[in-house]
Structure 1
Amino acid sequence: MSDIEKPNGRLFDLDLLRAIVTVADCGSFTTAASRLHSTQSTISQKIRRLEDMAGHRLLERGNRDVLPTDAGETLLGYARRLLALHDEMAEALSGATVVLTVRIGVPDDFAAGRTTEQLAAFNRRYPQVKLEVTSGLSRDLSASYDRGELDLVLLKQRQNSREALVCWPERTCWVDSARNPCINLDPLPIVTFPPRGVYRDEMISALESVGRRWHISFTSSSLTSLQSAIADGMGIGLLPLRAVTAEHRVLPKNTVLPSVDAFEVALLHRPVADPMVKALARVLSQVLAQETAG
C-alpha cells in the first residue's frame, strides 16, 4: 500500500508525506523543491493539501526558516516511519541486499570530518546496513529519539541530565571576531541558538553573574550561521573548541567572562538495540573520545 487511511476515509499519500519531510529537513521550500526535482509552487500545494487533510497547520513559514508546528512534529514522526517502511519494502522487492536500516542523529558540529569518515567506513565494511544520518539541534534529536525515530543518537546536554552509554565533557570557549571584535561593546552583542537551544541559558547566566549588559544580536539554529555571524562581527558566542575557525578569536580565560563548563556529549541507544547498532556505537565512541580529548 502507498497510503494510510484516516478514520474519516481520507488518505495520506506518501508523495505528500515525502514533500513535508523534505521541507522540514531542508528548512526551505526552495531547497526541498530542488531536491525533489519539482517546483516551489508544487511543493507548497502539496503541503497545503496535507494541512487540509490533517486539519492543522503543519509548518510555520518564517523569514529565514520553515519550522514544524506541534501538529507538524507529530505528523513528521509518523511520516518518517511510513517512508522508511516504504523504502525498505521497495529495496526488498528489488532484490537489494540491505537487511537493516540504522537511523543516527548527530549535532551539526559532528556531522562532518572524522564522524562522517568513520560512518562511511562502517558502511563499506557492512554494505547490508543502510545508514540514515540526521543532523540538528540536540533538543530536536533528543525528541526524535524519544519518539522512536532514531536508533542511535549523539547529544549535547547539561552534565548528568540524562543517563547515557558514555559521556565526555564538552569543552567550550567564548569566541569573538578576529577582524571586528565586539568584546568591548556595551551592551555586549551575543550570537546564540534559539530558546531552549544548547548554551543559550548558560551564556546569559554567565554574563549576568558578572553584571555585564548584553543583547541578542543574532539567533540561528544553524551552527554554520552562528560561526559566520561571530566571524563577521555580529557579536560574541559560546562555541565548542572544535567549531572555532581561523576567523575567530578565542577570548582568554582571564577576560571578565566566566568559563562555562556545564555540558557533556552523550551517546545513547536502547538496551535492546540490534548488534549492528551497538557495533556502530563502539565506532562512534572511539571517534568521540578523540574529538573531545584535550
Structure 2
Amino acid sequence: MNLELLRTFLAVAEGKSFTAATQKRFMTQSTVSHQIKRLEESLGQVLFVRTTRSCKLTDHGEILFTYARKIINLCDELDDKFSEKPLQGHVSLAAPEDYLSLPFSKILARFTRIQPDVELDIRVGLSETFRAQVTSGEIDLAVLAQIPPTGEGQPLYRDKLVWLASEDFHLGTHKSVPLALVPSPCLYRKTAIAALDKQNMPWQLALNCHSHEAIKSAVISGLAVTVLTEKDLRPGMKVLTQKDGFPDLGESELSLHHAPHLSNEAALLLSQQLLEHGTLLKN
C-alpha cells in the first residue's frame, strides 16, 4: 500500500477536512482529493462522507484509520532507526523565495531530525544570483529555476508558467497590461516582458517588489497581473490564457545544482533527500 496515500488519508481524517490536510501535507486541495480518490479506488471502498463544511469517516474509513496510524508510526520509527550515520558540519543551500516554502521546510525538518549536528545555512533569493555562487563553490547546493528548461543540473520537476490575475480582471478595461514583478535578474520578469513585447502588447510596471507574497496580494487585489507557475494559483486569482489575449509562456524547470567537486557528506545527503522527495515541492 502506498504510504504517501495513507499519510494524506490521516491528514484529512485528523483535520476533519480536505482544507486542513492541504496545510499539513503541503499540497493543493486538488492533489489531496486525487490521492484520496486513488486510495478509495485501490481499496474499493468509500472512506469519507463529505459535507460543505467538513468530512466524516465512513465505517470502512474508521477501520483504515486505526491501521494506517499504526503503519505510519512504525514506518517512521523504522526509518529513523536505520537512517544514515550521524554527521557533523555545515551545509549551505540556496533557493528562490517562491520555492523555499512549506514543502521545503518538511524535507529540511526531516533532515535536521536525522542529522541534528549538521548546521544548515539557508539562503533565499533569485536563481540567477545563486547560479554563479554555486558554480564558484561559494555555496554547496542551489535549487534553481530555469526558463525555459535547459536540462542543466539534476531535475526536480517542471511546472507550467501562467499569467495570474484577479478573478474580475479584464484586459479590455486597461490601456496597457499592469504588471507586478520582482526586479531583475528575476526570470519571471524577463519572461513576462519578452512575451508581451513579442506580441506588441503595451505594458506598464504597476509594482516592482522583491517579495513574491506581496506580488500575489497585488494580483488578488486587482492591482496588477504577474507571471508565476500553476502551483502559485490562489483563491481570488484566475489564469489568463490565449483566449484572454495573453501569449503562452511554456514551462519552468526546478533543478538541483552542486558546487564543483562537492565532497561535503552532509551536503551530499541533503542533496539525495531533495532528489528523492522533489515532487513534494510542486504541491
TM-score, reference length from structure 2: 0.63
Instruction: Check whether the contact 2:87–2:115 (CA below 8 A) recurs between aligned residues.
Output: no
1:173 is the counterpart of 2:162 = yes
Distance 1:109 1:288 in 2: 15
Aligned-pair CA distance for 1:263: 2.9
Aligned-pair CA distance for 1:206: 1.5
Distance 1:160 1:251 in 2: 22
**1:257 aligned counterpart, secondary structure:** coil
Aligned-pair CA distance for 1:209: 2.6
Instruction: Check whether the contact 1:189–1:234 (CA below 8 A) recurs between aligned residues.
Output: yes
Q: Which residue matches 2:54?
A: none
Match of 1:283 among 248, 273, 278: 273
1:100 is the counterpart of 2:71 = no
Q: Within 5 Å, give how 1:209-220 maps onto structure 2.
A: 209-220=198-209
Determine which structure has greater relative contact order: mean sequence separation of CA pairs < 8 Å that are 6+ residues apart, divided by chain length.
2
Q: Which residue matches 2:15?
A: none
Instruction: Check whether the contact 2:156–2:278 (CA below 8 A) recurs between aligned residues.
Output: no
**1:279 aligned counterpart, secondary structure:** helix
Aligned-pair CA distance for 1:148: 2.9
TM-score, reference length from structure 1: 0.60
Q: Which residue matches 2:262?
A: 272
Q: Within 5 Å, give how 1:54-133 maps onto structure 2.
A: 99-133=88-122
Which residues of structure 2 form unaligned runs of 5+? 1-85
Q: Which residue matches 2:232?
A: 243
Aligned-pair CA distance for 1:276: 2.3
**1:109 aligned counterpart, secondary structure:** coil
Distance 1:160 1:248 in 2: 26
Instruction: Check whether the contact 1:98–1:130 (CA below 8 A) recurs between aligned residues.
Output: no
Distance 2:237 2:149 in 1: 30
Q: Which residue matches 2:175?
A: 186
Aligned-pair CA distance for 1:208: 2.5
Aligned-pair CA distance for 1:101: 0.7
Distance 1:134 1:122 in 2: 17
Distance 1:261 1:282 in 2: 28
Q: Which residue matches 1:260?
A: 249
Aligned-pair CA distance for 1:168: 3.0
CA root-mean-square deviation: 2.3
Could you tell me which amino acid in structure 2 is paired with residue 284 of structure 1?
L
Could you tell me which amino acid in structure 2 is paired with residue 139 of structure 1?
E
Q: Within 5 Å, give how 1:41-60 maps onto structure 2.
A: none
Which residues of structure 1 form unaligned runs of 5+? 1-96
Aligned-pair CA distance for 1:268: 0.6
**2:194 aligned counterpart, secondary structure:** helix
Q: Deviations over 1:106-136 (max 9, x none)?
A: 1112222111111011100111211111111
Could you tell me which amino acid in structure 2 is paired with residue 276 of structure 1?
A
Distance 2:274 2:121 in 1: 15
**1:215 aligned counterpart, secondary structure:** strand
**2:191 aligned counterpart, secondary structure:** helix
Could you tell me which amino acid in structure 2 is paired with residue 282 of structure 1?
Q
**2:243 aligned counterpart, secondary structure:** coil
Q: CA 1:107–1:256 in structure 2 vs 1: closer, same or farther (change >3 Å)?
A: same
Q: Deviations over 1:242-272 (max 9, x none)?
A: 2221121122453211111153211111343
Q: CA 1:117–1:149 in structure 2 vs 1: closer, same or farther (change >3 Å)?
A: same
**1:144 aligned counterpart, secondary structure:** helix
Instruction: Check whether the contact 1:193–1:220 (CA below 8 A) recurs between aligned residues.
Output: yes
Could you tell me which amino acid in structure 2 is paired with residue 248 of structure 1?
M
Distance 1:120 1:253 in 2: 41
Distance 1:259 1:249 in 2: 15
Instruction: Check whether the contact 1:182–1:235 (CA below 8 A) recurs between aligned residues.
Output: no
Instruction: Check whether the contact 1:137–1:221 (CA below 8 A) recurs between aligned residues.
Output: no
Aligned-pair CA distance for 1:212: 1.7
Distance 1:106 1:278 in 2: 16
Instruction: Check whether the contact 1:182–1:189 (CA below 8 A) recurs between aligned residues.
Output: no
1:143 is the counterpart of 2:128 = no
Could you tell me which amino acid in structure 1 is paired with residue 169 of structure 2?
P
